[in-house]
Structure 1
């Protein structure tokens, strides 16, 4: 491979490069969607293709959010598995803290949104799920850019927190927002995941003259596609398939292997995620037209999203972390301080992917939908700036 491609691939494994590409693509999308060329952007984003018989005739935006983004969530689940087996999260007392923080970061923002919209009529209160989820990709990108000298456990804390609260949000979508949940497809997806686990952990055997680990590698691609199709067809957000498969990866090398399947997958897929998956997703999802957002500042939906994301997330994440550390055996990593957790609580306010999905599922009124989406973008931008300031100051103090 030419040296220039080797250097490019190495750069794409960096969270900072990935973050810059992601943020750049989001900015291009916003400018494009609010320019005189907005029609071409909308035509591209809503262009549909795929087999209709398998419920896979999706728009380009849906393919990016439900299909491509699954690769990123696989990497997240795979990295989390490595931390659970070999890293920071092996200690249950430390693993408990980000998990409880995530639960606080789910419950408090939803309660804040409902409180703000308690007296509102119609469908306004249906958006209570909007401020629940953290956008992992954007949050990790900001952390990578401003926190190069911050301790590694901080990234692990954010990764765990964001993964858990996104899974909680997806469960809420499946239970509270999905009217046509396909249990048969869900059961078959679970069976597919069991087969995926067997491919990772089953004993080596001879099969058709080939070692089973060789045939296993050949089967993993088709298995992954099958599991994704089944999860998508079940009505559950398809990115859950990526998280589940990542968490089932084998992280230890066997005799005859130089690296584990987990490490090989990380090496192969991270550049693809950074250079293709995340930029395309941001380009197709961030282009929100702000025209027609009448009554934006007087809307309880706007203030419910802003208060839930910016205030509720910080209170939920920090408060839950402090309480569990104060009254249980769980404890904060010695390399971290409570101001670091406050900074992560601010970064957790970046709600993009699943927050936008909640908005789409919650509102049929175009005015309500535009208000919700505008508030998500504003809250996420504020969270990016505030999180960068807090963690940036911590970063400077560590120099």
Structure 2
């Protein structure tokens, strides 16, 4: 990849409530502009697992058509996110001896030690998604970033290895290919989101990115500047909506609207809502019911507390709960629930803030939103690859106006 060469990067963010496709231009290591965006509702994934291949494929095609029409580019390959409770991660080390005269470490030694680190015992239905460098060690000396041309007898490589269930990943790939696209590579959803919302300093001193999706919550812990732990919890923002729909005997769409309008975990605000009434339609749509805004907030709070407790327990299980001076960074659409960071901080005992993509250019301003963290993170990771295979269309660029009209940013 030549410095200064413009490339097109395209990514596919497949979630449990919505599929998003973004097409962007990049020069060097910088995103220049987002050229096209396509979105489509999708309920064909459950906890990161495809349960209806045709439904996912159709959602991808719809999002692709919209993004291509907007951008005037035809895309043939994409970077795709992957998540789900089948994801696992572990730290592993590889070791090789340096036996050549002079003991100078060369590229083939680095390649060999990478292969050694990747030699982990996998189950019959597991495959490696990522091998993420943590550090090199030369003759026991830790913290080395690049060992090339150093002298040593023993070279070690410590990596964080992310694995997933092969059949689940194959089904996801098949949905993408049946929509007419090639999968450039799979990227862990939590890693993409963390890349978009965390600072280098936070990763260095210790931080946990908590991406609250529709059906799952992705946890990615960073210490010493590197990924140290991942987990996917089987609970997310859609559970809040389903709670409201069940308790209020209304549809999921109406429940989502009530959650966005009145959902809060702020006790003082719930007190203000105590006698404030709100009317809404029944599940069948042929009647009208009423409740208080405080009751809506109580239902939302109950499930948010459950998510926060699950995150706390997972951090305790990981043994990193006392190694996070930068605390928690919450992202995903549900991170926009009023005062959710206060609730997570109260339950976890850690500081917490809301994370959104750190985009400064006016072109990106509409994407400075927690619901786009995974998508923007995929784009930022994509600029370090060779870019997508594209063919320019003879079609005028329509722009981004009206893109967010009707889009539920809490998905």
TM-score, structure 1 normalization: 0.27
Structure that is richer in helix per residue: 1
TM-score, structure 2 normalization: 0.26
Structure that is richer in strand per residue: 2
Question: Which protein has greater RCO, CA pairs closer than 8 Å, 6+ apart?
Answer: 1
